[in-house]
Amino acid sequence: MNIKEGSVIASKYKVIKKIGTGGNGTVYKVVSLNDENNIFALKIINLNYGKYYNRKYSYSDCKNYERKKYARFCDEIKVVQKYQDKVKGILPIYDLYVPKEPSEDNFPWYTMPIAVEMSEKLKEYSFEQKIASIFEIAKILEKLHSKEIAHRDIKPNNIYFYKNGWYLSDFGLVSYPGKKALTNAKEAIGPKKPNTIAPEMREDSKNANPLCADIYSLAKTLWMILTNKDIAFGGQYNHKNKGISLGQYIKREYLVTLHEILTVCTLDIPGERPTAEQLVNLLQEWFEIKNDFSKRCRKEWDFIIKEVTPYTPETIVWSNIEEIVKVLDLVSQTKSYNHMFLPSDGGLDLNGCILSRKQGFIELNEDGYITLVKPKRLYMEIFGYYQWNYFLLETEQLPPCGLYEYDNADDVYEECVLEIEPDVYIEPYHLNYGTYNGIKLPDNARKIYFGLKGNYVIFPKDSYYNFNMKSYNALQTEYETPLKFKNFIKETIKFLRWKEDNPEKYDKLMNKKKREEEKERQEWIALHNKEENQLLNYIQKFKLTRNDCNRKDKDTRFEYTVSVQIIASFELYLNVDGILRVKEDLWDFESLINGTDRKKDYYKFYDFEEAKICSTEIKKYLDISLANLHTISNEADCHIDMKRLMGPRHLFTKEEIIEALKKGNDNYYNRLVINKDGYIELIQPKEVEYLEIFKYPVLGYEFPAKNNMVGETAPIDRYIEDVYLLMLDAWYEHLRCGENECLSDYVSLSQEELLKEINCELNKYTL
């Protein structure tokens, strides 16, 4: 039946709107006529009263479907009212009307609180929160089952969120002790969709164990909410079935225990499913293992072992490429076991493995980077303790593809290329232009890496190898063959066992090693002090050969000072007497705070070329001595610092930057600079002598070679606003302090604000 909005029911409630309908009832949102703040959900059973009063059947005849429906409606009310205050998690009934002889004018109903449907609430939930919701429902089931009450129709549509907790609703198919049988032999109950009803409930619900059926339905509900599917899979769960496996929908989460839960809860034989209490424990175990990395690693390793072999050998070797892909892809799905150490150095998480379009190759997804390798063999080594178990992928050695030139190709482990079709590769920079030889790149063009040689190895993430050995140094490649690496691991395990069994001998050995290392350290310090004194004596002999470099007149626009960096804690400067001195305080905070001249003792040059000549002279002088030292840098690093005395003649514009970028040659590395007069220049730093770079007040935006950011075809309009803003900010900072500047990491002012500040700073200078 259909109740119109605004209708009044039982002189108590006014209908606001319909909020849901199903096979057995319709739910309306209603407001109490006594208190407009009291809003409820009112459920009316959908009965065909013509069939209900069909004289073909007696009123008690269980073949009358409409009468059975009403009886179940009454059973629902009876159970809910009896247990709603005893078992938290049953959506309560507040008010009701159950006439003995229902009719269209005298229809039965009950009210319950307004609650949020599970499907709606879960939209804001994380993966873990979704499992926690099922965990809460499982605990409700545990309490109900302890009283031999079964819901028999668990699905997302019958689960609601109310008062900060989860509640079961719609107990129309409830089973409880002493209930009058309403189901015929071999009669199925429950809807065909969403596939949550246990198979035995479809075949012979009267004789089926309803408690076991609840477990089946809750497992299907768990799968539905984790995969965001409206209909559950049919039959038993099997994680190897890619169509239903959680691994196809969920990445980088702990799934092993969930695979086990879904498998055992959907077994065809009801008695082999866990009880509600056991299911609660299994879900509790998921949380415990998820938050305990060591337990998780062990669990995932055991899972992998079961998948790849029915027995536990010491070594398993795969040479079939399809089997290699299958095993590596399985490993990639276990978050605690998918960190892969690379052939040259470093490591990345393995996120997948597939057969490549290139014959004989596989594709490794390394944190989003696709690497093609030609596998030789995959080894799984199993030791007594899982932390030492590992997978080692041995690859074929391949020649370079020919796109690049190398001084020594033996040092190359991989090449980055752009694949435009299988076996057709070009340089990756073409991706920046979208074309190759004037032709648009195909949509499936992709940047990949070619593995040329070396081995990969995977250990558990919590293993000793990952945390306490030089695992990022590609030991699996350094030891050349899988057998040599295995022997190295065996020797390491043997040593660690000896260490555990012989702590005193180990401590004695370590103390001896520490003494030897301390002796080496003291010898190095002594040599360093000796060489430092030797260098200081040599430095003191330097004297600037020219004293006519610091003439200043009214048109002098800059002054320059020279400093020399040898090691991080050893900096020199040329003082007013033309002598090199060690800078005592590398961080002169006093002058920064007081605003005093922190370079008052420095020799001042007023011509950049003179400062450059002097720097060259100093470097040549120091390098002679440094070449013979062992603990100090072998080369002096000279710097020329500027101080602006007069204002610039020009303020660059955005249009000037655009013009400079258009004239650039994208085949080279370029950099925007601002010269001493305030004009924009685009230079190629590799073509500029090192000291010459210091003549620019601002070293600005950098443009890598072949990146399509300079030149006539570059899409300059995409980034010009950012470039202009950064250059303005650097120019403002230069004018403010008068010294050399580079780009800031963060700009807080707008273009308009910066232009205003620049004009204020310009007023401080004479032109």
| Annotated binding-site members for ATP | 43
Which of 348, 347, 382, 395 lies closest to 367 in space, CA to CA?
348
Q: Residue ranges of the alpha helices (H) in 595-682?
A: 608-626, 654-662
In contact, 725 and 671? CB cutoff 8 Å: no
Taking the C-alpha atoms of residue 696 and residue 741, their distance in angstroms, rounded to an integer, is 9
Contact 319, 377 (CB under 8 A): yes
Q: Is 574 in contact with 561 (CB distance < 8 Å)? A: yes
> Tokens representing 642?
């500027």
Whether the CB-CB separation of 123 and 70 falls below 8 Å is answered with: no
> How far, in Å, CA of 282 to CA of 275, rounded?
10
Q: How far apart are CA 294 and CA 462, in angstroms?
A: 6
Query: What count of Cα atoms within 13 Å lies in the side-chain half-sphere of residue 307?
Result: 22
Q: Which of 176, 235, 177, 184 is nearest to 207 (CA)?
A: 184
Element spanning 306, H or E: helix 293-308
- Residues that constitute the known binding site: 43
- The CA distance from 613 to 708, in Å, is 37
C-alpha R_g of the chain: 39
- Helices 503-539 and 482-501, interaxial angle, to 10°? 110
Q: How far apart are CA 672 and CA 727, in angstroms?
A: 9
Tokens representing 622? 């120091």
Q: Which residues pair with 565 in a beta bridge?
A: 571, 637
Tokens representing 620 are 């040549």
Q: How many CB atoms lie within 10 A of CB 703?
A: 23
Q: Which two tokens stand for residue 618?
A: 């100093």
Check whether the bond before 400 is cis (ω within 30° of 0).
Answer: no
How far is Cα 534 from Cα 457, in angstroms, rounded to an integer?
49
Residue 135 one-letter amino acid: F
Distance of CA 6 to the CA centre of its chain: 52
